[in-house]
Structure 1
Amino acid sequence: MTAHIRRISVHVDEPDPGHFFWVLMEEGDDASEWTELESAEESYDLWLDALDAGVRALVRYAPDERIGPREVNEDEDADPVG
C-alpha cells in the first residue's frame, strides 16, 4: 500500500522589517492544526530568496521527486497497540 503524500507548506515570515525567514509547516490530524517542521536559522534580505530556500528545504523531504514527500509506512508486522 502506498503511503499518503504529506501536507507540508512553505511560507515566509518577517518578524522584523527586512528580515525574512522560511518556515515549513505540516498539517496535523485535524486540518486546522499545523506543526512547524523546521525554519531558517538565519534571515534573508529578500522575501523571494527566503521563499526559494524554503522550497529547496521542502524538496529535501521527498526522497523521490516523482512521488513527493510521503508518510512513513506503519510496520505491518508490529504488534497491535491497545
Structure 2
Amino acid sequence: MTHIRRIAVHVDEPDPGHFYWVLMEVGDDASGWKELASAEEAYDMWLDALQAGVRALEGYASGERIGPRAAGDDEDANPVG
C-alpha cells in the first residue's frame, strides 16, 4: 500500500479569543510544512476549533481504514519493492 499523507491539525489564535483550525502538510522535500486549509471564521473556544479541524482532516481520508492518500495513489495496487 502507498504512504499516507502527513497532515497535521493545529489551532491558531491571531487575536485573543478568536480560534482558527489550520491543516498543514509536509512539503515535497519533507523539510517544511505548507498550509493546506484553514477555518474561514473564528471559533470562540479552542476545543471547538480543534474538533472542527479534525473533521476537516477526516474529509481528506478516502476511508476510515486507509486515511488520506496522495493523489494518484491506488489503494488496490500491488505494493512495490
TM-score scaled by length of structure 2: 0.84
Runs of 4+ in 1 over 6 A off after TM superposition: none
Bigger radius of gyration, 1 or 2? 1
5 Å-filtered alignment, 1:34-73, equals: 34-73=33-72
Q: Distance in 2 between matches of 1:30 and 1:20?
A: 30
How far residue 72 of structure 1 moved from its aligned partner, in angstroms, is: 1.9
Aligned length: 73
Structure 1 unaligned blocks of 5 or more: 75-82
How far residue 3 of structure 1 moved from its aligned partner, in angstroms, is: 2.2
Higher relative contact order (CA 8 A, sep 6+): 2
Question: RMSD across aligned C-alpha pairs, in angstroms?
Answer: 1.1
TM-score scaled by length of structure 1: 0.83
Structure 2 unaligned blocks of 5 or more: 74-81
Q: Identical aligned pairs, as a percentage?
A: 74
- One-letter amino acid of the counterpart of residue 23, structure 2: L
